[in-house]
Structure 1
Amino acid sequence: MAGFGEPGATPVEAAGLTVGVVAARWHGDLTDHMLDRAVAAAQACGARAVTARVAGSVELPVVAQALARRCDVVVALGVVVRGTTAHFDYVCRSVTDGLTRIALDEGKPVAHGVLTVDTLDQARDRAGLPGSAEDKGWAATVAALDAALALRSVAVGNAQPVGFAG
């Protein structure tokens, strides 16, 4: 966790959009809260939330893909804590590659709200609990909705010009 540079997670106006949220049950004390925060963020933005649960983070991408086919955005939530084997690396790579592929293949925002941490204390500090430094369930949902609005703007030709043209 860098602890700096986050753009903020102020609700966006996303009425009419549907957010698919899939959360792992592994480390359920944290992911249950993250799921609640993701649903609250969707509601604060005027969007509707659809939720699904899976056993662990490796299972997130396949359900995220199903949600991407019927929702405007997807948020994947989980907690992966580094252990003493290479398993952490395999899980993190698999989840990240899978979620990225789904976003590109489906052309929809898929927020990576999977906490990849060295300790449970680091996870607690990012899970949006009272006193946490970050709230990844909320932030991932707002970011995904913001990206959906940007895609909508690009699709209708309202993208803001950038660069040196003028």
Structure 2
Amino acid sequence: MATTLKSLSEYSSKNILDISAKKFAIVVSEWNEDVTEALYSGAYQTLLQHGAKKENIIRKNVPGSFELSLGAQWCAQEDTIDAVICLGCVIQGETRHFDFICDAVAQGITNVSLKFNKPVIFGVLTPNTQQQALDRAGGKHGNKGDEAAITAIKMLGF
């Protein structure tokens, strides 16, 4: 469903398991920090709201969205980590750089998930403008960080 028709912070509460003993890593891109910090806040609060313990939520920063895949891999290889949430924002520019970065990040995060057989969640915004990013990072369309966290929780209950 198109984001313009749905808030990213609305989700079904079906199949929510007890996550009080689960450990989460949240890998956050420092690029577009105003957006990624809002995404992190949404993901962190959603995990707490559903029972995660503060000490079981680990944050790792990477310079940009391209580095999310390797950051996720370093976290996912830890046996104590149950799920990894990747948060970033790549805003369309004037060159094809956007296309290459978005494709690499999506493929990289997918590959890490499959390699370690655990949820590695794609919480990366790919908007055309800064305003569209802000609208999806706690603005009028909710917060993609909320969605990424609830996706991790639901995948752990699969």
Q: TM-score, normalised to structure 1's length?
A: 0.83
Cα distance 1:9–1:63, how it changes in 2: closer, same or farther (>3 A)? Answer: farther
TM-superposed deviation, 1:9: 5.7
Where 2:126 maps in the other structure, the secondary structure is strand
Aligned length: 148
TM-superposed deviation, 1:132: 2.5
Letter in 1 for 2:63: A
Separation (CA, whole Å) in 2 of partners of 1:126 and 1:10: 20
Separation (CA, whole Å) in 2 of partners of 1:134 and 1:22: 20
Counterpart contact for 1:19–1:50, Cα < 8 Å: yes
2:90 maps to which of 80, 97, 115: 80
Q: TM-score, normalised to structure 2's length?
A: 0.87
Cα distance 1:32–1:92, how it changes in 2: closer, same or farther (>3 A)? Answer: same
Where 1:142 maps in the other structure, the secondary structure is helix
- 1:34 paired with 2:44, answer no
- 1:50 paired with 2:58, answer yes
Separation (CA, whole Å) in 1 of partners of 2:83 and 2:140: 25
Where 2:104 maps in the other structure, the secondary structure is helix
Q: Which residue of 2 aligns with 1:63?
A: 71
- 1:2-41 equivalences in 2 (<5 Å): 2-3=2-3, 4=5, 8=11, 10=13, 12=16, 13-41=18-46
1:112 maps to which of 112, 122, 132: 122
Counterpart contact for 1:9–1:138, Cα < 8 Å: no
2:108 maps to which of 68, 84, 98: 98
Letter in 2 for 1:33: A
| Cα RMSD for the two superposed structures | 1.8
Uncovered stretches (5+) of structure 2, i.e. residues with no partner: none
TM-superposed deviation, 1:75: 0.5
Who wins on radius of gyration, i.e. which is larger? Answer: 1
Uncovered stretches (5+) of structure 1, i.e. residues with no partner: 151-166
Counterpart contact for 1:68–1:108, Cα < 8 Å: yes
TM-superposed deviation, 1:17: 0.6
Q: Which runs of 4+ in 1 moved over 2 A?
A: 3-7, 9-13
Q: Which residue of 2 aligns with 1:155?
A: none
Where 2:57 maps in the other structure, the secondary structure is strand
Kindly provide the CA deviation profile for residues 136-164 of structure 1, in whole angstroms up to 9, marking residues without a partner as x.
111101111110111xxxxxxxxxxxxxx
TM-superposed deviation, 1:18: 0.9
TM-superposed deviation, 1:134: 2.2
